[in-house]
């Protein structure tokens, strides 16, 4: 081969596979009701008559499994929801791009913004716990919002280590003090009006446990192996705020991230300890692995101090929620039933499966303690029957106005331990679109 031929070959651009939507069923030779069939320039997707979004997501997963790194969605029929379903299936823990969106309906830019926000959350959740300390989580979340928000619209406060106890944020401090890497509370203020007296329309609170060993209530290996994902709530609300900003959020919003590593050491918190919170509530520790609610309690009180009429928290909080709704749904809890009904509608509109589980004021009494106002759980495996509702009941002690304007998302669908026909292993981003929609709609209505 001559030098010129060699240079021509090395400089050529690889041909990008074209992915189109077929209008007819696949030929029988490709199998009964085949989802994919080859075309001259790529592949055709033959969507099922029912559940077409899941069919599209499955097609994306199948193409990723072939080792394809880049493709273009081409031809007609690509709605925004179909493109997003394909993207969700095609992504994996090491690849958040490679999809050329179809701009037939002028939606490619919106989809790119959506992918940017999901990519941030997924990368953060999939990062190793060594890479992502509590302070690093807070700093990276702030940096991401600053890249999205208009210049001058973001300010923040970061409190770390023993300064948390000095400031009265005892839950975050106690959970995180066993680690050599200090716990942190990030309070980020998105204030697009840039006016000090602008009212705070909403506050987002995220659980940011960057690694959860369970503490002295130590997890078994199989339960601990994926606990890098226990900061999924913090990543979710950060990405939701970013997405809402790209979609035109004009109201002031506080982002509150409660970040800590739950580790064992000579300085770790212990069973039998009692934490006294800012609002005077005393909590006996009967399970150091029920730490998420302890840090969220601080975050919810911080949100209440902002006087925000809407408070949304998100957390990978309980295994009980996963037992109840499985890995395809997030669980929703609220004492404000009209707000809960609207939130479920936002989730349905955004194609994010969400199910409301029971929460009443009496759930506050479901973790009794003879030594304090409440225990942080029940001293039985998994927190006992109704564990997800009892955890939500614990959180409800720390929100204002008897829960009016408060939503709690237990993110059962935020992470997959292993791949399946629809999702790669790792973070999913499930819940980001719902929370962003709630922000945009609820703050505008007020």
Instruction: Identify whether the C-beta of residue 347 lies closer than 8 Å to the C-beta of residue 353.
Output: yes
Cα 23 from Cα 39, distance rounded (Å): 13
Query: pTM for this structure?
Result: 0.95
Active-site amino acid positions: 219, 293
- The dihedral built from the CA positions of residue 197, 143, 204 and 291, taken in this order, carries a sign that is negative
Which of these, 207, 189, 184, lies nearest to 135 by C-alpha position? 184
Cα 375 from Cα 371, distance rounded (Å): 9
- The dihedral built from the CA positions of residue 236, 237, 242 and 246, taken in this order, carries a sign that is positive
Residue in the block written with tokens 């037939």:
104
Instruction: Locate the domains of the chain by residue range.
Output: 14-106, 119-445
Q: What angle do CA 160, 161, 163 make, to 5 degrees?
A: 75
Instruction: Identify whether the C-beta of residue 315 lies closer than 8 Å to the C-beta of residue 322.
Output: no
Which residues in the chain land under pLDDT 70?
Answer: 1-14, 445-446
Please give the pLDDT value at position 10.
36
Please give the pLDDT value at position 380.
85
Please give the pLDDT value at position 383.
81
Please give the pLDDT value at position 15.
86
Please give the pLDDT value at position 14.
60
CATH 2.60.40.1120 for the 119-445 domain, yes or no: no
Q: Which residues of 292-309 are buried (b: 16+ CB within 10 A; e: fewer)?
A: bbbbbbbbbbbbbebebb
Phi, psi of 61 (to 5 degrees): -65, -40
């Amino acid at each position: 081969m001559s030098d010129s031929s060699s240079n021509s070959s090395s400089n050529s651009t690889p041909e990008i596979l074209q992915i189109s939507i077929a209008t007819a069923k696949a030929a029988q030779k490709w199998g009964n009701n085949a989802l994919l069939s080859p075309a001259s320039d790529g592949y055709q997707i033959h969507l099922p008559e029912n559940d077409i979004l899941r069919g599209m997501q499955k097609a994306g997963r199948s193409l990723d499994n072939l080792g394809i790194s880049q493709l273009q969605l081409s031809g007609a029929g690509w709605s925004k929801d179909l493109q997003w379903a394909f993207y969700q299936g095609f992504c994996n823990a090491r690849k958040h791009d490679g999809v050329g969106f179809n701009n037939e309906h002028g939606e490619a830019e919106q989809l790119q913004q959506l992918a940017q926000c999901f990519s941030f959350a997924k990368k953060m959740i999939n990062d190793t716990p060594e890479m992502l300390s509590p302070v690093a989580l807070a700093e990276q979340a702030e940096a991401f919002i600053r890249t999205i928000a208009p210049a001058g619209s973001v300010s923040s406060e970061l409190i770390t280590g023993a300064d948390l106890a000095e400031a009265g944020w005892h839950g975050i401090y106690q959970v995180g003090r066993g680690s050599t890497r200090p716990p942190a509370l990030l309070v980020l203020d998105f204030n697009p009006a840039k006016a000090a007296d602008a009212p705070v329309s909403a506050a987002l609170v995220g659980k940011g446990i960057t690694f959860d060993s369970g503490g002295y209530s130590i997890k078994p290996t199989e339960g601990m192996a994926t606990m890098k994902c226990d900061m999924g709530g913090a990543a979710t609300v950060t990405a939701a705020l970013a997405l809402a900003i790209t979609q035109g959020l004009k109201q002031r919003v506080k982002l509150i991230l409660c970040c800590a590593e739950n580790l064992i050491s000579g300085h770790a918190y212990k069973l039998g300890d009692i934490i006294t919170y800012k609002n005077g509530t005393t909590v006996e520790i009967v399970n150091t692995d029920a730490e998420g609610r302890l840090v969220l309690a601080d975050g919810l009180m911080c949100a209440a101090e902002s006087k925000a009429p809407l408070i949304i928290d998100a957390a990978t909080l309980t295994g009980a929620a996963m037992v109840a709704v499985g890995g395809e749904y997030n669980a929703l809890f609220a004492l404000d039933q009209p707000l809960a009904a609207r939130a479920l509608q936002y989730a349905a509109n955004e194609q994010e499966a969400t199910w409301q589980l029971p929460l009443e004021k009496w759930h506050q009494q479901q973790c009794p303690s003879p030594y304090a106002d409440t225990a942080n759980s029940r001293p039985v495996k998994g927190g006992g029957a109704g564990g997800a509702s009892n955890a939500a009941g614990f959180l409800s002690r720390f929100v204002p106005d008897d829960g009016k304007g408060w939503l709690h998302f237990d993110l059962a669908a935020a992470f997959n331990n292993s791949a399946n026909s629809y999702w790669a292993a790792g973070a999913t981003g499930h819940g980001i679109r719902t929370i962003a929609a709630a922000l945009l709609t609820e703050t505008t209505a007020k």
